[in-house]
């Protein structure tokens, strides 16, 4: 039995296969409509979500399965003091696979140890968000036709943004990647990613503060919101929240074939006047999130569709 805690749990070959299946699902959805008949997905969300929870649920429904779960800890027995491990033992009796989001780093890993069904980490604190990374990789691969030989700009909250941490880790496995880390001093990438992942793999990178300086060289711009929920005090958040705003005017500095990605939700960091630019890929990215999660559910349940 396999779980997905970290995107690096998948080999490059497995990742390639998942992307092939996801592309096939996009083209031939009816082929997959009964692949999970009789199977159940449980979504255990101890932290708010729109895309991750609902796209997992849409993925299972598209495959012919059904869904159950909770969307906030307050409606579960966590409020009575039940541990994640006991909750997981319970859910193992009710479902065939589960997706868990939790504010505590490592909680889905603890759940997986006590689970008899595959567990998908749907985001744990500021740590990892592997299904978002699968979504990001599928989006880049589908739009650019490759995952290598690219300059990737990551902009915004690189300190708390778990999607950034997972994406950087995954992209270090491809040739010719360069990172441009665009953030204020206060929200720089943690050294356990900069040193232990980027430098350890000899990946070229630069750290800059100004988005306009970085834009002309980028093939992908990955915008992120400032993670309000991870700040200890409101004033620090307010100082940072509008540090970057990508608008139509700034986008003129970018290449014609650069794409803007964002895991969403956005707050102010991408102006709505960017939405109709052909380089704005963040809404397509959400749709790719359903296809790749369908492919992932099939993979973890060991279901093969001819």
The site that binds ligand CP (CB under 6 A) totals a number of residues, namely: 9
| Only segment of 5-13, 46-54, 171-179, 184-192 that touches ligand CP (CB under 6 A) | 46-54
Is residue 165 part of the annotated active site? The answer reads: no
Residue that is written with structure tokens 């909250």 in the block: 157
DSSP-derived pairing of the beta strands 97-102 and 205-208: unpaired
Among the listed residues 142, 137, 135, 95, the one whose alpha carbon sits nearest the alpha carbon of residue 115: 95
Angle at 219 between CA 217 and CA 225, to 5 degrees: 95
Burial (CB < 10 A; 0-12, 13-18, 19+), residue 124, is: buried
Closest separation in Å from C-beta 135 to ligand CP:
8
Interactions with ligand CP, residue window 108-147 (CB under 6 A): 123, 132
Among the listed residues 266, 268, 267, the one whose alpha carbon sits nearest the alpha carbon of residue 281: 266
Closest separation in Å from C-beta 291 to ligand CP:
15
Closest separation in Å from C-beta 264 to ligand CP:
5
Partnered with residue 246 across adjacent β-strands are: 270
Interactions with ligand CP, residue window 245-274 (CB under 6 A): 263-265
Is residue 80 part of the annotated active site? The answer reads: yes
> Does residue 51 belong to the site contacting ligand CP (CB under 6 A)?
yes
Is residue 51 part of the annotated active site? The answer reads: yes
Our CB check for ligand CP shows the closer of 6 and 151 to be 6
> Does residue 71 belong to the site contacting ligand CP (CB under 6 A)?
no
Q: Rule CB under 6 A: choose which of 6, 19, 43, 49 binds ligand CP.
A: 49
Q: What are phi and psi of 51, to 5 degrees?
A: -65, -50
> Does residue 166 belong to the site contacting ligand CP (CB under 6 A)?
no
Contact 218, 255 (CB under 8 A): yes
Q: Which of the residues are catalytic?
A: 51-52, 80, 101, 129
Chain residues in the site for ligand CP (CB under 6 A): 49-52, 123, 132, 263-265
């Amino acid at each position: 039995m396999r779980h997905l805690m970290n995107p690096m749990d998948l080999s490059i070959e497995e990742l390639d296969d998942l992307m092939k299946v996801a592309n096939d699902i996009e083209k031939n959805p009816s082929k997959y409509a009964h692949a999970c008949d009789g199977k159940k997905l449980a979504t255990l969300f101890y932290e708010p979500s729109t895309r991750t929870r609902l796209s997992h649920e849409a993925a299972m429904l598209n495959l012919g399965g059904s869904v159950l779960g909770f969307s906030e800890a307050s409606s579960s027995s966590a409020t009575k003091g039940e541990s994640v491990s006991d909750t997981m033992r319970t859910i193992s009796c009710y479902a065939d696979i589960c997706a868990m989001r939790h504010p505590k780093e490592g909680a889905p890993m603890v759940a997986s140890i006590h689970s008899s069904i595959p567990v998908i980490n749907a985001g744990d604190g500021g740590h990892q968000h592997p299904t978002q990374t699968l979504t990001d990789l599928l989006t880049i691969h589908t739009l650019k036709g490759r995952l290598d030989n690219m300059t990737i700009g990551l902009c915004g909250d690189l300190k708390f943004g778990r999607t950034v941490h997972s994406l950087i880790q995954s992209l270090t496995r491809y040739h010719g990647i360069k990172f441009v880390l665009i953030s204020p001093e206060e929200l720089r990438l943690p050294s356990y990613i900069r040193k232990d992942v980027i430098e350890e793999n000899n990946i070229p990178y630069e750290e800059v503060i100004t988005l306009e300086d970085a834009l002309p060289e980028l093939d992908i711009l990955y915008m992120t919101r400032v993670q309000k929920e991870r700040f200890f005090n409101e004033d620090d958040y307010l100082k940072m929240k509008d540090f970057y705003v990508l608008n139509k005017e700034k986008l003129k500095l970018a290449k014609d074939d650069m794409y803007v990605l964002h895991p969403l939700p956005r707050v102010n960091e991408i102006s709505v006047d960017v939405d109709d630019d052909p380089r704005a890929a963040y809404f397509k990215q959400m749709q790719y999130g359903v296809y790749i999660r369908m492919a992932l559910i099939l993979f973890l349940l060991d279901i093969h569709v001819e």
